[in-house]
Structures are given as C-alpha cells and as structure tokens.
Structure 1
Amino acid sequence: MVLKCCSDVKILVCILTVLFGMGSWIAINGIWVELPILVDQLPEGWNLPSYMTVVIQIANIGPIAYIIFNILTPGKSYERTIVFVMVIVGSAASILLAYFWMDTSNVAGQEHSTALLILMFFLSLVDCTSSVVFLPFMNLFKPDYMISYYIGEGFSGLLPSLVAFGQGVGKVKCENISHINPDTNETEYSIQGVYLPPNFPVKDFFIFVFAMMITCGLAFSALNYLPYCKTEHVKSSKKHSYDVDCSGSVVISSKEQFVETNNDYEAVSKDDQVVIKQQVSGRKMSLLGYVYFLIVIGWTNALTNGILPSVQSFACLPYGTEAYHLAVTLSNIANPVACFMAFFIPVHSAVKIGITSLVGTLTSVYIMILAVGSPTPILVDSDAGGPLVVIAFVIVYLTLTFAKVSIATLFRYEGRKALLWCGAITQLGSAIGAAVMFVVVNVYQLFQQKYPCT
C-alpha cells in the first residue's frame, strides 16, 4: 500500500521541520563522535564511554517524569513550553561545555571529568526527553511532515560526524614508543597507535553544537508563530467520508482539509486521495496492530541506539581504523537516506515493515558475530572483511530507520497519544539496549578490543 506524502507540503516548512528535528540528539551524538579526542585528554581514558552510558541512562528520568505528568493531566498539552525549556537548557549546556569540558576534580580519590559528565547529564536530559516531546508536537502538523522530522533526526547524527571528519577525529599513526620495563629496568620498544592532533579544537566543535541548538530553537519558533507555517497546522473543519477499497484499506475522500476528531488528527489531501492501511471495521488501528508496531519500534531502537553502538568498535576495528570510521560515517548517512526513501516510497503494510525489520535484525546478528570474534573475527585477513562490515552497518541503519519512520508516520494518523507512546517506547528500547550492553561489555567483559597498530 502506497501513501502519497509529498503532494501537499511546503518546502520551507519541510526545511524548518528538518532543522527542528536536528536538535533532538545532536548534542549527545556530538560528544560521541569526539570520543577519540576526549579520551586522549581526560583522566578516564577509554573508560569514559562507560561513564557516559550511565549518565545517559540516569537522564531517562526526564521522559519518565514527562509521561507521568501527562497521565496525571489528561487532555492537556505542554509540548510547546517544554520544548522552549529544552532548547534553553541544551544551548546553555553546549556553550558551557565548549569552555569547561577539560575541567576535572577529585572524587573518591580519583580524578574525574566532572564538568563534562555534569553538563552531559543536562544534554542527555534534553535529548532523551525529546523522544516523548518532539514527536507529540509534530501532531500539530499534517502527517506529511513527520518524515521531515525524522530526516532532521537523522541529520543530528550525520552533521556531527561530517564536522568531526573535517576535524580529523580518530586519525592514528603508528609510532615506535620506548618504555622502561620495571622488572628488568631495561628500555623496550613497542608499536603503538598515536592520535594525531585535530585540525581545530574541541572548543570549536562544541560551539558548532551550540549553534545547532540555537538553530533548532529558531526553527521551532518559526513553526509555531510564522503565519506561513501556521497554514500547515491541522485545522478543525468539516468531517469527511470514508470508503473501503477492494484491498481492505480505508480511503479518505479528497479535496478536504485536515480535520480533528476526538483529539485525533486525520489526514486529507487537497488534490489527491490519501490511502491509509487500517482495519475495515473502524477508523482506528487495531489493538493488536498497535502493540505489534510498538514492539517493532522498541526492538529497532534497542538495536540502533543501544546494542550496535556498544559493539561497533569491537566489530570494525579489527579491520582497521578506516573501516571503523567509514562504518560510523556511512551509517549516519544511511539514516537520513532511509527517511528520504520513506518520504517518496512510504510503506504502511505491517508485513512489509516486519520484513524490513527482519532484514536489519539478521544483518545485526552478523555484526554481533564479528564483535564476539574480536580481535580476530572472520575474514580479518581478507580484503573483503572491511567492506563487508561497513556494508552491514549501512544495511542495518537503512532498513531499521526505514521501519521506524514508517511506523511513526502510521502513528501520526492515530493522534498525539499514539505519538507519545511511540516516543516513550523509542526511549525505553534504547535504554534497555544500552543497559544490557553496558553489563555485557563492562561487567562480564565478553568482548575484546582491537587497538590500532596492535
């Protein structure tokens, strides 16, 4: 079933929606791509990602509190106010990070990056809460703009990666390093990887993140208050009729505006028909379909936001730093590309979404096999090993992002409450995936890292 979703949108509103969506995760994504520089200058070293993971999970108190608040105040919407607060907090934390990220202090007898971790908590609070605030806010707009939002969310990972690539993050050269053996008191030599200095400092990178947060806030203000953008808000208007075609899909009659019925917005195109895959018996998605799509949303986000990022270095570094950085960059490119695909070739069939998710899941199994085999996974000595792991990451993010966007577009037709649940399950899946992998990687230490030049 194909839904034509680009027939009745305004390009400027699409661009503003993309800029708004970019603010969802750009701060945390920015810190992650700077890791090779941060770990080289901060006392935690490569243990820093473990602390960052814990901080992000603690920040989930934000979406939990917001969901509880919504349950206690049914029928009321606070998205606009909350988004403004989030933009202010995120912008302030980003600019402070630019100047104080290297500040450390002694905690329990050990030196720690307290400034970075505290400011990262506030950024995580903003980004985690965006899952349950930004999506319901998009209920204000026609469903066609939901994909634009997800394109922006994809750019929140892509842009920092491209800037970090220009910065020269992660470039390593192998050097013969001398050290004194404490047992024999003799000088010994070993080949070690040394990270090259970046083309511009970390301070400038975080100022870029600050500028992106400000851009997100300006785009949000324009979407709310510009008359040109307000014409794309859904309107209360006359009801429209439903017909059932031979495929069992509900067809909404054309040449009517978006209308609001029982607090749930329904899409109507001015010049074309909009076909929505729904139950013949009613306008709403069935409970079974609702639960099914929520499970898929939770699983795909557990993979893309929790499990795979935790094992990416284990799966890729045995094939070289170039394979690792290509996998990171191209998978970030695959995210917005999948959103563009969903924009022009939308899929609203539960079977097709399930097959797409299955392809991504099976490819993820291959990546996990490589990670478990680190530092000597299969094909490690073959020229095909590096390209295959890069292709695997691209396929995973392409298919799973496509599935997520398709489901979110369906939920947009179900109304604000459905989008709130979609955001909540998104964050829950991400949190569970990250928490499980934190235990597996750091407590049980089931994976062995392959370091450059070793």
Structure 2
Amino acid sequence: MPPEGTCEGKKALLQKFERQPDQFNIMGRGKNVFSCGEINVFVYIVVAMFGVGSWVAVNGLWVELPVMVPYLPEGWKLPSYLTVIIQLANIGPILVTLAYTCSKDSINEKAIVFLILTVGAVACLLLAFFWRTTSYIGGEEHSTALLVLQFFLACVDCTSSVLFLPFMSLFRVEYMTGYFIGEGMSGLIPSLVALGQGVGKMTCQNMSVLNQTTNISHYEIQPIYHEPTFPVEDFFFFLFAMMIMSGVAFTLLNYLPYCKREHTVEYVMDVEGADSNSSSSNYELSSDHGKVREEEYQDPSQTGHSNTELVPSNKKKKPSLAVCTDTHSSLVSEALSRRTYFYFLILIAWISAISNGVLPSVQTYSCLPYGNSAYHLAVTLSSISNPLACFVAFVLPEASRIIINVLTFFGTCVAAFIMLTAVQSPTPLLVESNGGPVIVVLAWVLFTALISFSKVSIATLFRKEGKRALLWCGAMTQLGSVIGAIITYILVNVLTIFESAPPCA
C-alpha cells in the first residue's frame, strides 16, 4: 500500500473504503432497526427533543398570558413589558458571540449550554411559585417576580440561537432538520397544552356597566373568560419538565455512546481494522469549524458523511483529499462564495425580522376582526405548519438557492397581505365575507410554512460551511428579530397605527 501521507496513499485508502465500506465502520455507525437511510431515527428524535428547549419557555409564557393577565396589575400592558425585556435579554447572545470571536472557538460550549438549560429550568420552577408576587416600584405595583424571571427565560432562549446551532455542527447535515423540527415544536407543544387548558375560551354576555364619569349604568356586551381546566402553576411545572427533557436530550447527545456514533468529530477510524495481517493506522475524523471550508471529504454514494476529512490521530494534519481531484473531483464539496454567504446572512436576518419580530406582534390585529375562532385557528395551525415544513425539508432533496429565494419572496408577499389586514383593523378587507376568516387563516399557515422551509434550508447550507457559519446564522437570527420587534413596538405603542377589534363585535 502506498505511503499514507501521499496522494496515491489516500486514493488507495478511498478505493478500499468504496470496495469494503463495512470494514471501516466510520464513527462506529452500523445498520440497525432505528436507521432510516442515513439517519438514525432514535438520535434524530433526541435532537428534536433538544431543539424543543430552544424557545419553549418564552413561547409558553406568551400563550399563557390570557390566563395570567386578569391577576396581574399591568393588565394587557404586560405584553409590551415582556417585549422590552426580551430585547434586553439579547445581551446573552451578544456576549456569547463576542466570546466566540475573541477566543477563536475555544469556549466550553457544553458547559454553557448546560448552564443556560439549568437557568431556564430553575426559572420555570420559580415561576410556578412566585408568578403572582408583586411589589411597588416608583409608586406603582408591578409583577416583579414575573418580569425578573422572564428576563432569565429570555436570556436562555435568545442565547440558544448562538449556542444550539453551532452545537449542531457536531452532527451531519441531515440532523439539522431534526433540530428545527424541535424548535418548531417549542411553539406548538405549549399552544396545544394551553388549548387543553382552555386559554382564550369565552362567551359574550350583555352586562350592566357603570360609567365612572356620569355614575349611570348602561348595558354592554362584555367577554366572560372561562376558568382554565388546570391552574397557571401546573402550566409552569409543564414548562419546567420541557426544559428538563431538553437537558436530558443534550446529555444523551454528548455522552451516550449510541448517540456519539452520529458525531462527525473526535472519533477514530481503524483503516486496517479488518485485516489482522496489516499494520494499523488510526485516523481521526475531524471538522474545521473555524472557516468556510473548501476541502472536505464527502462520499454521498456510500456513507453520506459530509463535512469530514481524514486527519492522522497524532493531530498532525496531512494534505486533504481535495488535492487528489484528478479522479475524485466529485468528493470535494462546493463551498458558498463570499457574496452568497453574506447574502444568506442578510436573508436570514430578514426572515427572522418578519417571522419573529413583526408579525407575531400584530397577529391579534390581523386575526381578531375575523372572529375569536379565526384567531385561535391561525395561532394553532401556523404552529403546526412550522415543524411540518421542517419535516418536508428533511424528506425532499436539499433546496437550491433559487428555490430559497422564490419561497422567501412569496413568503414576504404573504406577510405583506397579513400586515395589510392588521393595519386595516378593526375592519379589514373581507371582514364581512364568509371567506375572510378562511383566507386570513390560510395566509398565516402559508407564511409560516414558506418562511420555516427557507430558514431550515439556509441553516442546512450553513451547516456545510462549519461551526462559525452556524454561529453567525444564529447571531443574524437574533439581530433580525430585535430589529423587527423594535420597529413593531414603535408602530404599536408609540405611533399607535393599529386598532384592536372588540372581542365581542
């Protein structure tokens, strides 16, 4: 066999792997009942469970607001307080991004992820006991405990964007959709639990109302909200359990040998393990996370293990397989150009701005004029369409850049229609039509599906570029969300261009 450090040696090694791939058993993976193509179904589910912890706490708090507001002094001003707190919590991802940049990716990611998951779990547990605790600040009563604990929850969830995504570079690109399915479930699961709790259920009754100015009573149709089937405290215990589940999933992904077999780094391949008469040469599979790679080992016909290259176990890097492109040019992956790289960063910021910052803040203005049922259907079905779109991205072949651009464009057009209905509230177009509620619900579902598919497709492309690309993908996600939220906060609370529809119109 030619010397292992030469191009001829690497070609011989690759040819032997192509003839007898089972002898190499890269990363310890083998066929088992949990395999589905290149995916280990069990590990894929664990990845999704880990992804649930990304935004489940903040999403859960938002869907529980209708039950909490009647007991809190801020009333329906509470969402505006929470919006500001979430933006302040972006100090977390800023610090992590700076740490990545200054330390050249040498920070202890595992320890930080365990820390924020622990903080999130503890905050959810404390909310179950202290969410109604108030104190006087500046002569006004405020929900101090809720607001403080919300800040810690927001820090956890915002920071997850720049920690969880880079962590996923440890796994092959096929597992990225699993993470985004879990992230989508972080909004769907609390919504379904809240629906089972009875959040938003009400009846309209004609009631006597006293005019405080004239001291004369008159009759008005007022909403009467039903008592929930279980208390707020139980809902926070549920969120606590979700954070614990995410922490357990993260532990399994890092330390369970069965899950570690799906890692793309830090595993040794015995090149001559099947030949007892041959000398053994250990190679370690590693991944360059610090730059956009143009020299990567990839064999889609046999293993599908992308983003890896053969590195001697003594840590001394040998020439990449990319230098042997005369007969194996198809094995070299195509890296994004710098222009495309920055374009997709801007695109992910735009997607995050409209999907995380702008439209969620105006959903009540867009949907409530069409009825309470239309509002809850839009919230629930759009939450379902998010993980479904991520699953479609897993099933279908990798989306091309043209498809991503087209879907983002159509998603933006649907978002413009949704904004039009919100601006026209309380009498948007088709409000008197039987098809109006159907159209607005379909618009929300279609928008969420298109944008979610585009987002996971961009993240999949960035996964191939390495850990730093995923870090900046997460950072631009948060930046876009902040910009969108600030702009919408000004439009809603300062310029007051939106007008709510009465719940019992």
Q: Same fold (TM over 0.5)?
A: yes
Is 1:194 matched with 2:224? Answer: yes
Contact 2:288 2:466 in 1 (8 A): no
Cα offsets for 1:136-158 (capped at 9, x unmatched): 00111111111100000000000
AA at the equivalent of 2:230 = F
Structure 1 residue aligned with 2:167: 137
Q: Residue by residue, what CA displacement relative to the aligned partner does 1:303-332 show, whole Å, maximum 9, x if unpaired?
A: 111101011000000011100000000010
Q: Does 1:370 align with 2:397?
A: no
Question: Contact 2:51–2:179 at 8 Å: present in 1 too?
Answer: yes
1:220 aligns with 2:271: no
| Structure 1 residue 76 corresponds to structure 2 residue 106 | yes
Once residues 201 and 376 of structure 1 are traced to their aligned partners in structure 2, the CA distance between those partners, rounded to angstroms, is 35
Match of 2:43 among 10, 13, 31: 13
Distance (whole Å) between structure 1 residues aligned to residue 188 and residue 389 of structure 2: 13
Structure 2 counterpart of 1:431:
482
Query: Contact (CA 8 Å) 1:6, 1:144: kept in 2 or not?
Result: no
Structure with the bigger RCO (C-alpha within 8 Å, sep 6+) is: 1
Residue-by-residue CA offset, 1:391-449 (whole Å, 9 max, x unaligned): 00000000000000001011011000000000000111111111110111011101000
Structure 2: tracts of 5 or more residues without a match? 1-34, 270-282, 308-328
1:406 alignment partner in structure 2 = 457
- What's the CA shift for 1:228? 0.3
Aligned-residue CA RMSD (Å): 2.2
- Which of 255, 260, 280 aligns to 2:287? It is 260
Question: Relative to structure 2, which stretch is displaced further, 19-28 or 426-435?
Answer: 426-435
Contact in 2 for aligned 1:339/1:402 (Cα 8 Å): yes
- Give CA deviations for 1:362-386 in whole Å, capped at 9, x if unaligned: 0001000000000000011111111
In the TM superposition, residue 182 of structure 1 has moved relative to its aligned partner by 3.5
Q: Contact conserved, 1:224 with 1:230, CA < 8 A, in 2?
A: yes
Q: Counterpart in 2 of 1:206? A: 236
Q: Which amino acid aligns with 1:442?
A: N
Q: Which residue pairs with 2:302 in the alignment?
A: 271
State yes or no: 1:59 paired with 2:110: no
Give the secondary structure class of the aligned counterpart of 2:133.
coil
Where in structure 2 are the equivalents of 1:32-431 lying within 5 Å?
A: 32-235=62-265, 260-261=287-288, 268-269=299-300, 271=302, 283-431=334-482
Distance 1:268 1:129 in 2: 34
Contact persistence 1:36–1:169 (CA under 8 A): yes
Give the greater-gyration-radius structure (CA): 2
- Which amino acid in the other structure matches residue 247 of structure 2? G
Flag the 1:266–1:202 CA change in 2: closer, same or farther, 3 A: farther
Q: Do the aligned partners of 2:127 and 2:236 also contact (CA within 8 Å) in 1?
A: yes
Separation in 2, partners of 1:394, 1:347: 22
Percent identity (aligned): 52
Q: Deviations over 1:17-66 (max 9, x none)?
A: 00000000000000110111122221111111100000000000000011
Query: Is 2:57 aligned against 1:27?
Result: yes
CA distance in structure 2 between the partners assigned to 1:90 and 1:118 by the alignment: 12
User: 1:439/1:267 Cα in 2 relative to 1: closer, same or farther (>3 Å)?
Assistant: farther
Distance 1:425 1:269 in 2: 30
The corresponding residue for 2:10 is: none
Local SS of the residue matching 1:180: strand
Structure 1 residue 334: Cα displacement: 0.5
Task: Quote the Cα distance in structure 2 between the aligned partners of 1:6 and 1:411.
Answer: 24
Runs of 5+ unmatched residues, structure 1: 239-255
Q: How many angstroms apart in 2 are the aligned matches of 1:325 and 1:192?
A: 19
Q: CA deviation at 1:108?
A: 1.1
How many residues in Structure 1 have an aligned counterpart in Structure 2?
Answer: 431
- CA distance in 1 between partners of 2:449 and 2:288 (Å): 35
d(CA) in 2 for partners of 1:344, 1:258: 27
- Cα distance, 1:283 vs. partner? 4.0
SS at match of 1:120: helix
- Partners of 1:147 and 1:339 within 8 A in 2: yes
Could you say if the C-alpha distance between residues 183 and 52 of structure 1 is closer, same or farther in structure 2, counting changes exceeding 3 Å?
closer
- Residue 111 (structure 1) shift: 1.2
Mapped to 2, the partners of 1:262 and 1:295 lie a distance apart of 21
The 8 Å contact of residues 146 and 408 in structure 1, kept in 2 or not, is answered as: yes
Instruction: Map Cα deviations across residues 336-391 of structure 1 (whole Å, 9 max, x no partner).
Output: 00000000114331111000001110000100000000000001111111111100
For residues 69 and 158 of structure 1, do their structure 2 counterparts lie closer, same or farther at Cα, with a shift above 3 Å needed? same
Contact kept, 8 Å, 1:374 with 1:448, in 2: the verdict is: yes
Deviates more, 1:177-186 or 1:284-293: 177-186
Amino acid in the other structure paired with 1:199: T
State the Cα distance separating 1:97 from its structure 2 match.
0.5
Letter in 2 for 1:389: V
Report which stretch shifted further, 266-275 or 351-360: 266-275
Structure 1 runs of 4+ off > 2 angstroms? Answer: 179-186, 235-238, 256-276, 279-284
Q: C-alpha offsets along residues 88-109 of structure 1, whole Å, 9 cap, x if unaligned? A: 1000000000111111111111
Contact 1:142 1:233 in 2 (8 A): yes
Q: Distance in 2 between matches of 1:14 and 1:358?
A: 30
Q: CA deviation at 1:6?
A: 6.0
CA contact (8 A) 1:259 1:267 kept: no
Q: Is the 8 A contact 1:62 1:125 kept in 2?
A: yes
**Alpha-carbon shift at residue 201 of structure 1 (Å):** 0.5
Cα distance in 1 for partners of 2:451, 2:135 equals 41
TM-score of the superposed pair, with normalisation by structure 2 = 0.82
TM superposition shift of 1:272: 5.7
Flag the 1:112–1:260 CA change in 2: closer, same or farther, 3 A: same
**Could you state the TM-score of these two structures normalised by the residue count of structure 1?**
0.91
Following the alignment from structure 1 to structure 2, what is the Cα–Cα distance between the partners of residues 336 and 56?
23
Amino acid in the other structure paired with 1:295? I
Give the Cα–Cα distance (whole angstroms) in 1 for the partners of residues 303 and 346 of structure 2: 32
